[in-house]
Amino acid sequence: MDIATQSIEGGFADPVFNAQTVFRAIMDAMARPGSVQALPQLAQPPAPLAATAAAVALSLCDNDTPIWLDPRLQAEASVKAWLGFHTGAPLANTPADAHFALVANPAEMAALDGFSQGTQEYPDRSTTLILLVDDLASGPSLLLEGPGIEKTAMIAPVGMPRHFVEQWKQNNQRFPRGVDIILAAPGSLACLPRTTRIKTMEA
């Protein structure tokens, strides 16, 4: 299949309803950090962009929100064409220019502080990272505390960035600035807003 055909197919079958479904799942996951929200496969993007991450991009990105792609996604012309056709979002030249970042290989990604942190006046101008993970239950356990969590919540995403807990601690310290993270796994997603604190389970 050529790139032109590939870039047109595989978007939302029912754009308004599908986008609302995904947006609601993201809002619920942001409001209750660590909770896993089921999400049916609503998009069929070209590889290596996965369906959940693609659905998140389709519901959040538009022509006013530059997207940064990690090297693995950047290398695929079909992925860039698909995102361009379905979202209209321009590609950001650097992580610091991005409203959203799609990361297919979180274990190798750039440091969190390289992305836009927002400003004290406009903390919402920071980058939201959409990390493609294999699942949310079989990686190292992260114990979560903070707003939206009654006592603690636990999540165990696979393939997270190196030194993630340490980087996240620094992200917390930049509040109200800082990045937010959406973890996109096959069939589900979870969120780590910047207000969430992480403890590792190691004694």
| CA dihedral (193, 111, 153, 22) positive or negative | positive
Find the farthest-apart pair of alpha carbons in the chain and give their distance in angstroms, rounded: 53
pLDDT of residue 2: 72
Q: Which run of H or of E encompasses 191?
A: strand 188-192
pLDDT of residue 202: 58
Q: How far is CA 4 from the centre of its chain?
A: 26
Question: Quick check: 59 and 19 in contact, CB under 8 A?
Answer: yes
Query: Which long-range contacts does 169-174 make (Cβ < 8 Å, 24+ apart)?
Result: 169/197, 169/198, 170/112, 170/113, 171/112, 171/113, 172/197, 174/113, 174/117
pLDDT tens, N- to C-terminus, the chain (203 residues) = 676 677 788 999 999 999 999 999 999 999 999 999 999 999 999 999 999 999 999 999 999 999 999 999 999 999 999 999 999 999 999 999 999 999 999 999 989 999 999 999 999 999 999 999 999 999 999 999 999 999 999 999 999 998 999 999 999 999 999 999 999 999 999 999 999 999 876 54
User: CA–CA distance from 173 to each of 72, 146, 166, 195 (Å)?
Assistant: 30, 13, 11, 10
pLDDT of residue 201: 66
pLDDT of residue 203: 40
**Distance of alpha carbon 72 from alpha carbon 68, whole angstroms:** 11
